[in-house]
């Protein structure tokens, strides 16, 4: 019997949920009944909030009821919780890194320290009150997401001002001047990197890439593969990297979840090797062999918004503004 996949914190990630639903039973969890992505799933489930003691038991019950073989979080918020539950044996299905890695990568300053300890390139980064080798810099929340409260600073005075202005713990990171890239990766249950797909970030909004191109860049692929296996990441991860004019690389973010531009690795993967398909295979106990570098390149994506209409019982009506969506058929 084929095993299903449980996705937590689905929010608005309709693209991810619908991609999984093409291949298996999908249980979508979100506390908000208007979270649109849950309507792409086979099963919609409201669970307690992440900090509630009943959160992990609720996920356990859903796994048992619906034959779930893999749990994949779609936000940063519960990765460490799932990691601890996997380590405790409560949720062995969870495709997440160790709790230590989850905790470190959720804090951007700890991420910087971890990268340095492992010998991976990271821009000079300090805490408030310490000096960087050179400016300009970026003042960032240590646990920020979605480009929230990130401020460029050109002088020590601006650095000091923004460190006071942002109402949460921050760090100060040297501003990288070159182009930014993201590498969408997937690790297996043993922490082997199965694939690493680099893409440009042509335009971003709210920290999320909305335009980009999948590229052939062995240096970025090798860097991401090395980091994935050094951290023994299980499941998806998105690694953000800048390349300076002199070729120097600097890793600025390690997100152990799917990235905002999820469609890019979907388009680029070979048939049968999209990340949802590989996760479904892992959910069913299959061994997946690494195939880093086996993906299409030169593909450009541009993302847009759409919507669902729900009836009085919060059920999709199936009605759309344009049916079928997209341009009219040629005549």
CA angle, residues 59, 49, 236, in degrees to nearest 5: 60
Average pLDDT, the chain: 93
- What is the SS3 assignment for 87-148? HHCCCCCECCCCHHHHHHHHCHHHHHHHHHHHCCCCCCEECCCCCCCCCCEEEEECCCCCCC
pLDDT number for residue 148: 75
Per-residue pLDDT at 326 exceeds 80: no
Instruction: Return the CATH fold of 4-96.
Output: Rossmann fold (3.40.50)
Using omega within 30 degrees of 0 as the cis cutoff, is the peptide bond preceding 201 cis?
no
pLDDT number for residue 208: 77
Query: Mean pLDDT lowest for which of 1-15, 230-244, 295-309?
Result: 295-309
Domain boundaries, the chain: 4-96, 98-122+177-331, 124-174
Q: What is the pLDDT of residues 251-291, one digit of tens each?
A: 999 999 999 888 888 889 999 999 999 999 999 999 999 99
Q: What is the pLDDT of residues 167-206, one digit of tens each?
A: 999 999 999 989 999 999 999 999 999 999 999 988 888 7
pLDDT number for residue 325: 65
Cα→Cα distances 297→212, 218, 226, 283, Å: 11, 12, 21, 28
Contact 307, 34 (CB under 8 A): no
If you average pLDDT over residues 85-89, what whole number do you get?
98
Per-residue pLDDT at 293 exceeds 90: yes
pLDDT number for residue 59: 98
If you average pLDDT over residues 29-50, what whole number do you get?
94
pLDDT band of 330, cuts 50, 70, 90: low
CATH 3.30.470.20 fits 98-122+177-331, yes or no: yes
Percentage of residues in the chain having pLDDT higher than 90: 82
pLDDT band of 319, cuts 50, 70, 90: confident
Q: What is the pLDDT of residues 96-117, one digit of tens each?
A: 999 999 999 999 999 999 999 9
* DSSP per residue, 193-256: EEEEEEEE-SEEETTEEEEEEB---HHHHHHHHHHHHHHT--EEEEEEEEE-TTS-EEEEEEES
Q: Name 176's bridge partners.
A: none
pLDDT number for residue 127: 96
Q: What is the pLDDT of residues 196-234, one digit of tens each?
A: 999 998 888 877 788 999 999 999 999 999 999 999 999
pLDDT band of 35, cuts 50, 70, 90: very high
pLDDT number for residue 121: 97
Residue with tokens 């495709």: 95
- A 10 A CB-CB count for 244 gives 13
Contact 20, 279 (CB under 8 A): yes
pLDDT band of 78, cuts 50, 70, 90: very high
Angle between helices 14-21 and 275-283 (to 10 degrees): 50
């Amino acid at each position: 019997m084929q095993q299903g996949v449980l996705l937590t914190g689905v929010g608005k990630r309709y693209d991810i949920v619908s991609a999984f639903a093409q291949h298996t039973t999908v249980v979508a969890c979100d506390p908000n009944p208007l979270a649109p992505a849950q309507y792409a799933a086979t099963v919609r489930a409201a669970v307690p909030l992440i900090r509630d003691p009943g959160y992990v038991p609720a996920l356990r019950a859903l796994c048992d009821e619906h034959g779930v073989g893999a749990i994949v979080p779609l936000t940063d918020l519960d990765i460490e919780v799932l990691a601890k539950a996997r380590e405790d044996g409560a949720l062995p299905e969870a495709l997440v890194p160790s709790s230590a890695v989850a905790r470190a990568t959720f804090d951007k300053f700890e991420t910087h320290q971890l990268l340095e300890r492992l010998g991976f390139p990271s821009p000079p980064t300090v805490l408030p009150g310490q000096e960087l080798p050179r400016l300009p810099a970026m003042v960032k929340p240590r646990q920020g997401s979605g480009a929230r409260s990130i401020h460029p600073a050109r002088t020590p005075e601006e650095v000091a001002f923004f460190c006071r202005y942002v109402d949460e713990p921050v760090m100060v990171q040297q501003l990288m001047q070159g182009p930014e890239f993201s590498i969408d990766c997937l690790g297996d249950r043993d922490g082997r990197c199965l694939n690493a797909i680099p893409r440009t970030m042509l335009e971003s909004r709210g920290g999320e890439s909305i335009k980009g191109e999948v590229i052939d860049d062995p240096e970025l692929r090798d860097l991401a593969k090395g980091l994935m296996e050094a951290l023994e990441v299980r499941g998806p991860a998105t690694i953000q990297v800048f390349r300076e004019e002199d070729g120097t690389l600097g890793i600025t973010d390690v997100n152990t979840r799917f990235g905002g531009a999820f469609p890019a690795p979907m388009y680029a993967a070979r048939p049968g090797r999209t990340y949802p398909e590989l996760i479904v295979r892992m959910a069913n106990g299959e061994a997946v062999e690494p195939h880093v570098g086996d993906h299409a390149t030169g593909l450009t994506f541009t993302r847009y918004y759409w919507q669902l209409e729900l009836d009085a019982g919060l059920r999709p009506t199936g009605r759309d503004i344009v049916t079928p969506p997209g341009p009219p058929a040629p005549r």
